[in-house]
Structure 1
Amino acid sequence: MSTSLVGGWSAFNFELSSAAREVFQEAVRHLLGVSYTPFAFATQVVAGTNYSYLAQAKTVAPESSLRVVRVHIFQPLPGKGEPHVTQIIAIEP
């Protein structure tokens, strides 16, 4: 029996599928100054798909420290555009 709600978020999956990895790479490819490495994702089906990734963020500078962020990406329906970042949220300890 499924307990997910229509329009609700899935649980975080710590094994990135090839499709989730591809959406992430396509959406962040134009971002400069920070390198992002996803390690978990959740999805929400809407008129397209919302992705919420947990990722390591490292500023591209000597001796910068790693941070953990949540990267939100929207993947439109097929033929309606490319995936794009809608929000990046720092996760504080």
Structure 2
Amino acid sequence: MAEGMMGAWSEYHKLSPEDQKVFDEGMEGFTGVGYSPVAVATQVVNGENYSFFCNATLVSVGEEHFPAMVDMYKKPSEKAEITKINQLEY
């Protein structure tokens, strides 16, 4: 599907300052695991879906590291919210 088309996912790419702002907003108040986004894909719907590929660190148990996907949704003029977090197998 063509990037920018309603409903189509973009390719994963480096975060723009706006992508980082959405990520930071959605993670506000989230504790226990630190997520550092590496890349993001977006999908324009009635708002925008974000799929962030992250390096994660479990801070409460010996700083275990693992890859994870953090999905968020942001409605226009509203705060971003986490819709799903998946630890990836490697």
Task: Settle same-fold status: TM greater than 0.5.
Answer: yes
Q: Find runs of 4+ consecutive structure 1 residues off by over 6 angstroms.
A: none
Q: 1:90 aligns with which of 70, 87, 90?
A: 87
Tell me the percent identity. Answer: 31
RMSD, aligned α-carbons = 1.5
Structure 1 runs not aligned, ≥5 long: none
AA aligned to 1:11 is: E
Residues 57-80 of structure 1, C-alpha deviations (whole Å, 9 max, x = no match): 1111352221110000001112xx
User: Secondary structure of 2:24's match?
Assistant: helix
Task: Specify the alignment match of 1:20 in structure 2.
Answer: 19
Alignment of 1:1-93 (within 5 A): 3-4=2-3, 5-13=5-13, 15-61=14-60, 63-78=62-77, 81-93=78-90
TM-score using structure 2 length? 0.90
* 1:89 CA drift (Å): 0.8
Aligned residues: 89
User: Secondary structure of 1:53's match?
Assistant: strand
User: Secondary structure of 1:88's match?
Assistant: strand
Q: Distance in 2 between matches of 1:35 and 1:76?
A: 24
AA aligned to 2:56 is: A
User: Secondary structure of 1:32's match?
Assistant: coil
TM-score using structure 1 length? 0.87
